[in-house]
Structure 1
Amino acid sequence: MRTLGIDLASQPERTAMATVEWSSTGAKVVDVRTTVTDVMIVDALGTADRAGIDGPFGWPDAFVDVVSAHHVYDSARENTLFTEPGVTRFVRRMTDEWVRARTGLVPLSVSADRIAYVALRAVRLLARVDGPAFDAGRVNGTAVEAYPAAALKVWGLSHNKYKGKTNGEVLARLIDELCALAPWLDFGPHRALCTASDDAFDAVITALIARAAALGMTELPDAAQLPVAQREGWIHVPNRSLSALAPS
């Protein structure tokens, strides 16, 4: 099995991509890249069995509804949508609220934060690769929506304060912790880049989330949640320990 992890940013310069090869004896990080273009991502998605993308696959239903109504001057519809107090439903997807309840972490708002730029790139890429050989579904397709911080927390690893140029020692310790929990994971020569770049590290974690999704070891929406998730997207949070991903 080959899993791909993409730590997506709005521009190639902050985007990282990692490929992990899984065999009967272990998992090996075989490629890690930074400054990743759309062409590089499309090519890599075409060779991966499963992929994880750290970026939203859609927008909140209520946000889409109110923007659509506003676009055609449908004030009656807008007034109906704004009947309920608060704006949470416009800025948080169902999956965002589910992740918050499940992990205590709050994903960035795709409609009210800068991650909207990332979402635009994500949906552009998914549209480009959609076809007979690639399921671009937003719930459990060939590529799944990933949230590295949530996976790290579920797996009992440090999930914050490792980002940025001033936190290199924290990131190095986190990689040590990860390798101690997953001795079957071999970073090879790519460990240096993952220690120097939290984007590269997150790409590796996202490739591990893709493995969890492939094995059925992530939470999926229930029957009532599914129609909304198919429109808005769904964040895959592992529901098994990191050791469960080990080849056997």
Structure 2
Amino acid sequence: MMRRLRPWVMLPTGWIAQGGLKAFRWRKGEGASSVGALMVLIVIAQQADKATGIAELTYDELTAATGLSRSKVAEGLARLGAQKLICKVGTERSQYLLADYDLYQGWGKLPASRLYTNERVWAFDNFRLRQPAELDALKLYLLFVALRDDASNLTRVSYEKITDYSGVAKNNIKRALSLLAVEGLLHVERVASSRSEYGIVNAYRLTFLDTRNHMGTKGRSDLPLGAADDVTF
């Protein structure tokens, strides 16, 4: 039985700062398992105990939540283990510890409860593990979790920095953003640039996260003073 979810959970992000997203590539023999691994990681993080960072999930629960086959779940878990993002604990039950889980630092807010319908992540329903855009989209989603500014509820990051952190080619970013928007995971906002009085730049807001903190309730003028067009860890 999956645990009752909170609106958001803590996802360790140190590995993203260190370029860990680049390890998940779309190439022969790796593309589908890379997509599956990030899907499984998201579910493990959402189901992890807040105090310990440990999730108790059977294969049946992981397949139900992600829509993946048991073999793809196994491949995903293996990839996550190889990248040292999770480690298995316990003997009788399927228990997975999020690596570098720390209640006080090194984490970003990952939306949780409202992404589920009947113990399944509805946003994964159209993921078929057949398109590079699916992998790029998940990498951008996790990057935005890591770089999000809590005060503005936005991530302001250039295409160049997105590529630097995630490995997603600049020419593929717009396609990945479109997929996230279509699947209901992301809003793209247009905000004032800090570099030009009249400039406008993109900023990214994750859906179902701090839902009262957005442009409709605050407006551009209420963004933090000096908010940069590009963020870093």
TM-score (norm 2): 0.27
Higher relative contact order (CA 8 A, sep 6+): 1
TM-score (norm 1): 0.26
More helix by share: 1
